[in-house]
Amino acid sequence: MPYATDPDALGALLPGEPRYRIDQLREWLYLHPVLDAEQMTNLPLSLRRDLADRLWPFRVEAERTTDDGATIKWLFRAGDGAAIEAVLMGYPHRTTLCISSQAGCAMACTFCATGQFGFDRHLTAGEIVAQVAYAAAHLRANPMPRSPARVGNVVFMGMGEPLANYPNVREAIRRIVEVMGLSARSITVSTVGVTPGIDRLATEPWPVTLALSLHAADDHLRETLVPLNHRYPLDHILAAAARFRAEKGRRVTLEWTLMSEVNDTPDQARALGAIARELRAHVNVIPMNPTPLAPQKRPPKARIDQFVDEVRRTGATVTLRDTRGIEIDAACGQLRVSSGG
């Protein structure tokens, strides 16, 4: 399958074909992706037919659209049955694609649908990049109503802990930047705190954004939400984030899934604000998308606003993220839940 191979080794897919054919294929796969090999108009018909079944390393099991066409969620299914989710969100001047790095996840965060399924396997670099290429091809063929017809931002916030699949995520970032031509600054790698991975990422040549999924401002609460906190407690994670910031000169973002009567208290807001100020980080508050698999709930609107105001009062910069696609189960792992696993 083309996407499971290194783009520099596409020749193996087209044995006996001249070099320029391989360059043409690389363009169709990575620079101007198309949904269907039939659309690779400068390739001979026989070659297009030969590639037809090998274009994507997965099939599209479900596609759901909401927000007047501005949010699309895909559930892809790999040949071995592994589920892969991606969500494309269109905004007036940008598009953001949320992609998966693993099928399932071993981190077992208690508020997360994916975490409740457990770990299936790592995604290959090809499977990660294919999510970006598929979304790009889909956007070209079906532009969103009010958004650019290209994928602008890529966030590793779908299924899986990206830094637990480091070599494949690294290679995927390399291909997205060096082969597909996206700016590294438009890529965000989100982690619940795999400290050695943060340090490794800081040594890479690409100035990606690091997003720390914090969700709690003290170890006691965080351990109940993110079991990995037992292994890498908050002071370790925050120190690694500070090193990343110093090394890369990139502002870190702190992600906070807001859960009713769990982490939405004024005390947590003030502690979060203090952490953000110390780290000179930006806070993103994301009200929880309800999931049948987790006991935590989304707070009422007034409570959400109070929390955000309290963080802001500390002097930290904070954004309240809109939660796209609640009615299509857009939170990580949820489409898989409603599709039956």
Q: What number of CA atoms fall less than 13 Å from residue 269's CA on the CB side?
A: 22
**Which tokens is 48 given?**
């297009």
Q: Catalytic site residue 85? A: yes
Tell the smallest beta-carbon distance from residue 318 to ligand SF4 (Å): 20
State in angstroms the smallest separation of the CB of 159 from ligand SF4: 6
Are 286 and 326 in contact by the 8 Å Cβ rule? The answer is no
Our CB check for ligand SF4 shows the closer of 67 and 120 to be: 120
Q: Tell me whether residue 105 or residue 286 sits nearer to ligand SF4 (CB atom).
A: 105
CB closer to ligand SF4, 40 vs 157: 157
Cβ-based nearer residue to ligand SF4, 89 or 107: 107
Distance CA 125, CA 195 (A): 22
Cβ–Cβ < 8 Å for 263, 215: yes
Comparing CA positions, the residue from 92, 338, 109, 119 lying closest to residue 100 is: 119
> Which alpha helices (H) appear in the chain, and where do they start and end?
19-26, 45-52, 113-117, 125-141, 166-174, 195-203, 219-225, 234-248, 266-279, 301-313, 334-338
Least spacing, CB of residue 102 vs ligand SF4, in Å? 8
Cβ closest to ligand SF4, residue 71 vs residue 114: 114
Which member of 105, 109, 112, 332 is catalytic?
332
Shortest distance (Å) from residue 158 CB to ligand SF4: 8
Rounded Cα–Cα distance for residues 232 and 185 (Å): 27
Helix (H) or strand (E) holding 210: strand 209-213
Q: At what angle do helices 266-279 and 234-248 cross, to 10 degrees?
A: 40
Residue 116 and residue 336 in contact, taking contact as beta carbons nearer than 8 Å: no
332 is catalytic: yes
Contact assessment for residue 199 and residue 178, using Cβ atoms and an 8 Å cutoff: no
Based on CB atoms, which residue is closest to ligand SF4, 33 or 162?
162
Residue from 85, 127, 161, 310 carrying the catalytic annotation: 85
Residues in contact with ligand SF4 by the rule CB under 6 A: 105, 107-109, 112, 114-115, 159-161, 192, 332
109 versus 271: smaller Cβ distance to ligand SF4: 109
- Nearby residues of 283 by Cβ (< 8 Å), 6 or more positions away: 253, 254, 256, 272, 273, 276, 311, 316, 317, 318, 319
Least distance between ligand SF4 and beta carbon 105 (Å): 3
d(CA 177, CA 274): 34
Spatial CA neighbour of 105 closest among 73, 124, 83, 89: 83
Q: How many CB atoms lie within 10 A of CB 296?
A: 20
Q: Looking at the annotation, which residues are catalytic? A: 85, 332
